[in-house]
Structure 1
Amino acid sequence: MSPPLLVYAFGVFVVTWVLAHAHLVPKPISGIPYNTLARYMPWGDLITLGIHNWLTGGVFDWFSLQCLKHRSPLIQVFIPSFSTTHPTVVLAELREIEDIVTRRAVEVDRADTMHIWFGIVAPRATIGMKSEDRSFKEQRRLWNVVLSPRFLEDVAVERFGEVAVKLADLWKKKSNIVQEELAFQVQDDMRIATLDGIWKMNVGSELGLLNAKLERLEQPKAVRKSGNGKAVFSNTVMPEFYSILGTLLMVLDWVMQGISPRMYTWFFNTTGILARAAKRKDEVLKRCIAISRERVHQNSGSEPIDTTCALGEVMRKDFSLNSKASEAASNGASGDDALTDELLELLITGHETTASSISWALKFLTDHPEVQSRLRTSLYAAFPNSTLPTAKDIYTTPLSYLDAVIAETLRLSLTGPISFRQTLVQCDILGHTVPAGTPLVLVTAGPSYDSPDMPFVPEYLRSKTSQATYLRKHTQTYPIAPATDSLHAFNPARWIREDGTFAPDAVHMLPFSAGPRGCFGKKIALLEMRIMLAVLMMRFEFPRLRKGLSGYGAVDGLTRRPTCCYVQPKTIGTRA
């Protein structure tokens, strides 16, 4: 290349660099630490985050590591996919996070990023809406019925109980096929079980995923290969909706973790991948909606009306709020589009997070036989006259040690350690002025929380509401475990009081966030974990596996999932 061309090419490069930097990287907020080099890169911190994800499979812990790097619970990063007009502020301090999400709703709300991400698959779902949006309030008013004690006990419990027993039957068949001598992966089984359960709870019909798995085991060549102490079972032909949902989840993962959400959205729209999946999804879910709506209209003079699923409950409540049947089929919160998107949101978030958490629980219990034995003994003591208690009994009986196991799993698994918010007005966070419209990443768990290098936060830097709350309680709200007990250890006993009851505040953590925009499905997730773990622990023993089958690697997507989760279930004989 001749010198003039080299000069020209260099000039184009410089101009491109300057323009990209000017449009993609905003000015930093004064006083809040940041990576100096990233400030001058067109893609800001995105390259560093991408390299970390490629090397480790993680995304969530990167934000906490940046706080550790700067030795500050409050930092800022430059990620164009989050915002090109504001730096993203990262907060990793539990007390301040809890204050923000519970007491400062007029200052901070759900981030625009959430609507961009989930909007590609479910634009009318409440997960991406602002709290003051009329649509958000209307839809939540309808769907809050699924959190009522009656619905949880009469509908949700029964649905997840059926699924738990069916999952146990599946694992018993697998164990019989390999004569209990080989271990097998269970993440896929766990995902389809939780999806089967959340589908039946929401829609009332059978999705049939576990049934398909059970039927495949009855066919020839159920095991595809075996060796090295493990078995791989042959693939199963699943019902169509499973592949539809898989495509939508793939699209969502790419949009959430890609360099540019808009670029990936354009790609999936242009190729037709998204359109084909969305069309079939709409056809399936709107058919379910039509069936429920018709049942409500046909039985409008009697009570109860179709209380066998969440959709029926929502339809019944909507019909009772509207004097005319036509209003129940309007374009508002009970219109087909809104119902379809809210259903899809619940299906996605309601199965993925719970499946990951139960998988982590099985890993911890398998590697800690003494904890597993104590849990099983506590279950036998709670149900002395039952081979396998009903799901309702599991839900209504005090089971302190099971609750402790669940809490300890949520503490260590870090299934969802970050949440996304955005400032609505200029506000103060730990003594720093943060402009309106600034994205916030609230990190509720990660390396910075375990490090002694993180500085103490002076009381005067905290918000007035945080200080007032602290003064009212006079003492630390959440006592930590004794100094002799490592917080890195899996020890459910830290959650048990001297009188044997469960202490939910033994360790300060926010696995479901908190406040009005905390996890909508928290009650359902805890209910599902309780039933699943109780059934599996009373049906099987899970012996400790060799090191190669019990690694603790993880990959981040919608949740933090274990890269491997092997079990070798040993069927427990019937008790006398």
Structure 2
Amino acid sequence: MILSVLLSSIVILIIAIYFYIKWKYYTVHGTIPGLEPEFLSGNLRQLGVVSSNRELIDSYGYACEKMQKVYGDIFQLWIGINHYYVFCRPDHAQEIYTHRNIFDLAKIRTKTFGLISEHALVTLIGPEYKRHAKAVLPMLKKNKFIPQIPIMTNCVDKLITIWKERYENKDNIICTCIVSDSQQLMLDMFTLIAFDYDFGNLNNLLKSAKSSDSNDKFELSDLGKALAIWLNGFQRVTVNGMPAFINYYLLKFDKIYQNALKLLENYSYKIISKCQQETDLNRKAINLVASLVSTLQEDEAAEMLKHEEDKTGLTKHELLGEVLFLLLAGYETTASAISWFIHFVSKYPEIQQKMKEELKHNGITKETSLDDDDLLHKCEYIDCVINETLRIAPLAVGSFRTLTKDAIIDGVKVRQGETVLAAFSVMQRDPRNWKLDPTQFIPERFYGIDAPDRNHHSFAFLPFGGGHRVCAGQEAARLELKVIIIRLMQFVTFTDAPGNNGGRYQRVTVMPKEVAVSIKFD
């Protein structure tokens, strides 16, 4: 009798918890339209972003585009357990970006990024954010990366050598690994620039390309594998539909994830220790980690006794969080952009020819040093190609912000604690915001003083977000993209091939699903 009552009570409790979670997290509230979410997956399965077995098969931007067609420019959306009010017009973005006293760090950042990198700038608010920003933001300015341009060009040259081994004088072989090649390029490049450490992935790729043994296939280094596992952890906590505290323990008791994290932490601590030993106070820091090491607190115990507003510098543990996040943000975004660039320009040989002519016109040859910012600035058409790549294939769905107090956007009241999404991925492809067809890849829309879309709405094209939470590394990312594209255009031409279908795939950023090109050497 007692056992029956106990079992019945447990069943009733489980049912009650289910309906409470369903009501609290998975029910459309208020008058703003939206698709009734499913338990755990939210709207992702309904909109075709995840498959029935919860595998990501499309992007969040695609979900927003579908919702906009049905519900208009303002609607509710669930990405797993996370609920957002989505706004799809430039004037909405302007309202959100310009009122920093109302729209601040999105709770999603602490529920996702915060679980894999607790002390990263992107997860912080208030005085702690200001303290970290003072240490991190100056390191990400363009002028800090210009001295590193020789490293960038050397890495691109390595990739071109790999491609020559694979594809030169082999017209029947199509390159289908552009995405992974771009990732290995950026992983090596960014770790060399930021940490003075060579992951060695390009060297391994070259060794594999030269090998006549078909079984001698490229494999990531141990650190590369650890990074991939760590990034997969972020992806899981974003879409699995579980509350943050459950995801915390899922990661905590995942041995594979914890081993990968430990390897990354040990590696990061070694770099920090090496920089501390080698730092010369009379010389400027030569890489990001060395710069960050110079901000370490001299007496952590004394700093802990202070109020947050009075603290200065970073603790060693906080520095570790920033190093891990820089590793994530520094290579994934640019690798995605390069992959999209190659996909699009392979379909337009005239665009590649125009870039090559611009280089020739400005006297930029294979022997020209690219560490002259004035010379790079002259390549205006290449800037337009970069902008068009980022416009038509945005790397993120938009900017998330959580309200610190009630606000009204376009007549819609949103309450304190709710999160809004300024969906710039939708705005950048919305025909109302562009004179030329926004579904087409047309760099000329930006080129020249009389360009049709040169004077677009200032908040219709913000691929790195806007406001005080704008992407901190956008200057460095644009410089890397420009140097890489110039170097590629000096040596190769990409041509369209069967299977070059594009499509979108959501990871930390949005990557193309299928890129297949032929590579010709100039």
Instruction: Note whether the superposition's TM-score is higher than 0.5.
Output: yes
- 1:533-555 Cα distance to aligned partner (Å, 9 max, x none): 1101110122232xx32102121
- 1:72-108 Cα distance to aligned partner (Å, 9 max, x none): x1112356622xxxx521111122213312x211001
Q: CA deviation at 1:215?
A: 2.1
1:166–1:500 Cα change, 3 Å:
farther
Q: CA deviation at 1:405?
A: 0.4
Say which is worse superposed, 410-419 or 533-542, in terms of deviation.
410-419
Q: CA deviation at 1:118?
A: 1.1
Q: CA deviation at 1:505?
A: 5.4
**1:218: which partner in 2?**
210
SS of equivalent residue, structure 2 residue 422:
strand
**1:434: which partner in 2?**
414
**2:100: which partner in 1?**
105
**2:253: which partner in 1?**
270
Q: CA deviation at 1:559?
A: 1.1
1:173 pairs with 2:165: yes
**2:309: which partner in 1?**
none
**2:468: which partner in 1?**
516
Give structure 2 stretches of 5+ with no counterpart. 1-7, 305-311
Are the aligned partners of 1:68 and 1:447 in contact in 2 as well (CA < 8 Å)? Answer: no
Q: Distance in 2 between matches of 1:330 and 1:171?
A: 52
SS of equivalent residue, structure 2 residue 514:
coil
How many residue pairs are counted as aligned between the two chains?
A: 498
Say which is worse superposed, 166-175 or 506-515, in terms of deviation.
506-515
1:170–1:554 Cα change, 3 Å:
same
- 1:174-217 Cα distance to aligned partner (Å, 9 max, x none): 223x6343111211110011111111121122221111211222
1:47–1:566 Cα change, 3 Å:
closer
SS of equivalent residue, structure 1 residue 235:
coil
**2:370: which partner in 1?**
391
Q: 2:229 aligns with which of 218, 227, 247?
A: 247
Q: Distance in 1 between matches of 2:301 and 2:197?
A: 22
Q: Distance in 2 between matches of 1:499 and 1:446?
A: 25
Are the aligned partners of 1:353 and 1:415 in contact in 2 as well (CA < 8 Å)? Answer: yes
Q: CA deviation at 1:288?
A: 0.1
Q: Distance in 1 between matches of 2:242 and 2:383?
A: 41
Q: Distance in 1 between matches of 2:199 and 2:390?
A: 28
- 1:118-159 Cα distance to aligned partner (Å, 9 max, x none): 1222111111112x1x2221111111222345312223x333
Say which is worse superposed, 44-53 or 276-285, in terms of deviation.
44-53
Q: Distance in 1 between matches of 2:25 and 2:332?
A: 33
1:423 pairs with 2:403: yes
1:91 pairs with 2:87: yes
**1:151: which partner in 2?**
144
Greater C-alpha radius of gyration: 1
Map 1:198-217 → 2, pairs under 5 A: 198-217=190-209
- TM-score, normalised to structure 2, is 0.87
Are the aligned partners of 2:505 and 2:511 in contact in 1 as well (CA < 8 Å)? Answer: yes
SS of equivalent residue, structure 1 residue 569:
strand
Map 1:319-334 → 2, pairs under 5 A: 325-326=298-299, 333-334=313-314
Q: Distance in 1 between matches of 2:518 and 2:302?
A: 50
Are the aligned partners of 1:394 and 1:534 in contact in 2 as well (CA < 8 Å)? Answer: no
1:310–1:79 Cα change, 3 Å:
closer
Q: Distance in 2 between matches of 1:525 and 1:328?
A: 36
1:124 pairs with 2:119: yes
**Corresponding letter in the other structure for 2:198:** E
1:77–1:564 Cα change, 3 Å:
closer
1:121–1:395 Cα change, 3 Å:
farther
Q: CA deviation at 1:383?
A: 2.0
Q: CA deviation at 1:17?
A: 5.9
Are the aligned partners of 1:541 and 1:570 in contact in 2 as well (CA < 8 Å)? Answer: yes
SS of equivalent residue, structure 1 residue 563:
strand
Are the aligned partners of 2:431 and 2:438 in contact in 1 as well (CA < 8 Å)? Answer: no
**Corresponding letter in the other structure for 1:179:** K
1:504–1:430 Cα change, 3 Å:
closer
Are the aligned partners of 1:159 and 1:200 in contact in 2 as well (CA < 8 Å)? Answer: yes
Q: Distance in 2 between matches of 1:237 and 1:25?
A: 42
Are the aligned partners of 2:48 and 2:63 in contact in 1 as well (CA < 8 Å)? Answer: no
Say which is worse superposed, 42-51 or 550-559, in terms of deviation.
42-51
Are the aligned partners of 1:329 and 1:335 in contact in 2 as well (CA < 8 Å)? Answer: no
**Corresponding letter in the other structure for 1:349:** A
Are the aligned partners of 1:395 and 1:531 in contact in 2 as well (CA < 8 Å)? Answer: no
1:494–1:504 Cα change, 3 Å:
same
- 1:362-419 Cα distance to aligned partner (Å, 9 max, x none): 11110011111111111111125x3342231477431111001000111111221322
1:285 pairs with 2:235: no
**1:229: which partner in 2?**
none
Q: Distance in 1 between matches of 2:20 and 2:290?
A: 54
**1:493: which partner in 2?**
444
Q: CA deviation at 1:443?
A: 0.8
Are the aligned partners of 1:282 and 1:340 in contact in 2 as well (CA < 8 Å)? Answer: yes
Are the aligned partners of 2:88 and 2:427 in contact in 1 as well (CA < 8 Å)? Answer: no
Give structure 1 stretches of 5+ with no counterpart. 1-7, 225-233, 453-478
Q: Over aligned residues, Cα RMSD in angstroms?
A: 3.0
Q: Distance in 2 between matches of 1:564 and 1:23?
A: 39
Are the aligned partners of 1:77 and 1:88 in contact in 2 as well (CA < 8 Å)? Answer: yes
**Corresponding letter in the other structure for 2:139:** V
**1:313: which partner in 2?**
291
**1:59: which partner in 2?**
60
- TM-score, normalised to structure 1, is 0.79
Are the aligned partners of 2:404 and 2:417 in contact in 1 as well (CA < 8 Å)? Answer: yes
1:405 pairs with 2:385: yes
Map 1:507-546 → 2, pairs under 5 A: 508-545=460-497
Q: CA deviation at 1:160?
A: 2.0
Q: Distance in 1 between matches of 2:49 and 2:300?
A: 51
Are the aligned partners of 2:404 and 2:416 in contact in 1 as well (CA < 8 Å)? Answer: yes
1:45–1:147 Cα change, 3 Å:
closer
1:499–1:487 Cα change, 3 Å:
closer
Q: CA deviation at 1:24?
A: 3.1
1:142 pairs with 2:135: yes
Are the aligned partners of 2:444 and 2:451 in contact in 1 as well (CA < 8 Å)? Answer: no
Q: CA deviation at 1:219?
A: 2.6
Q: Distance in 1 between matches of 2:373 and 2:153?
A: 9
Q: Distance in 1 between matches of 2:452 and 2:79?
A: 45
SS of equivalent residue, structure 1 residue 391:
coil
Q: Distance in 2 between matches of 1:117 and 1:275?
A: 16
Q: Distance in 2 between matches of 1:16 and 1:143?
A: 43
Are the aligned partners of 1:202 and 1:343 in contact in 2 as well (CA < 8 Å)? Answer: no
Q: CA deviation at 1:272?
A: 1.5
**2:240: which partner in 1?**
258
**Corresponding letter in the other structure for 2:505:** V
